[in-house]
Structure 1
Amino acid sequence: MKKIVLLIALACVGAFAADGAAIYKKCAVCHGQKADKKYLNKVPVLTEIDPAQRLADMKAYKAGAINGGKGKINMGAIMKGQMATLSDADMAAVNDYISTLK
């Protein structure tokens, strides 16, 4: 009985897990289908950023802690809006998906 309950619980977690590939589709407009595009020659290629740093940056954008600075394009405002609807699990899933594109 315990094994059945455990299997059902694991299946439910898997069913509700974030789909990094599906979430990344809205990112691809600026960052490219393979996360290989430099956006406005300002943002580095996502696949060249360390995964831990990439995830930390996503969280910092969501928190509004990163901005473009005076006289620069305010990427922080753009990215804050993009990250606003993503949960930590969503960001982790996208980050993991980007890592597969290398």
Structure 2
Amino acid sequence: MKRILLVSSMCLMLAFGFAVSGFTADGAELYRKCAGCHGPDGSKLKSKAEADVLKALTGYKDKTYGGDKKAIMESIAKNLSPEDIQTLAKYISTL
């Protein structure tokens, strides 16, 4: 009985892990929302370091960062999870 319970628990943990990983978007997918303003190839964001993008996106989300168009970025960033912000910052740094 203990063995069945242990095996069942392990299977459930694995299934949950795969399900959660399936909900994580990749950088290119997340960037599609950015392309309208920042260019489909990221031309307006090229050469931005991952740490700088991370700082900016986190700041927009927290409403502690930005210039004259910050309201637009704040409305977009508020819907990003911390994982999405990390993924997007990593992706943008490679453009």
Tell me which interval the TM-score lies in, with the shorter structure as reference length. 0.7 to 0.9
The answer to whether the Cα contact below 8 Å between 2:48 and 2:93 also exists between their aligned partners in 1 is: no
Letter in 2 for 1:33: P
- Superposition misfits of 4+ residues, deviation over 2 angstroms: 1-14
Shift of 1:31: 0.7
Q: How many residues align?
A: 88
What TM-score do the two structures reach when normalised by structure 1? 0.69
Partner residue in 1 for 2:59: 60
Shift of 1:92: 1.3
Moved more, 14-23 or 4-13: 4-13
CA RMSD of aligned residues (A): 2.1
Shift of 1:9: 4.5
Structure 1 Cα separation of the partners of residues 71 and 39 of structure 2 = 20
Match of 1:83 among 77, 82, 91: 77
The answer to whether the Cα contact below 8 Å between 2:53 and 2:92 also exists between their aligned partners in 1 is: no
Structure 2 Cα separation of the partners of residues 86 and 47 of structure 1 = 21
Does residue 30 in structure 1 map to residue 29 in structure 2? no
Larger radius of gyration: 2
Structure 1 Cα separation of the partners of residues 63 and 31 of structure 2 = 20
Letter in 1 for 2:92: I
Deviations 1:20-61 (A, max 9, x none): 222211100011112112xxxxxxxx2311101111110001
Greater RCO (Cα-Cα under 8 Å, separation 6 or more): 2
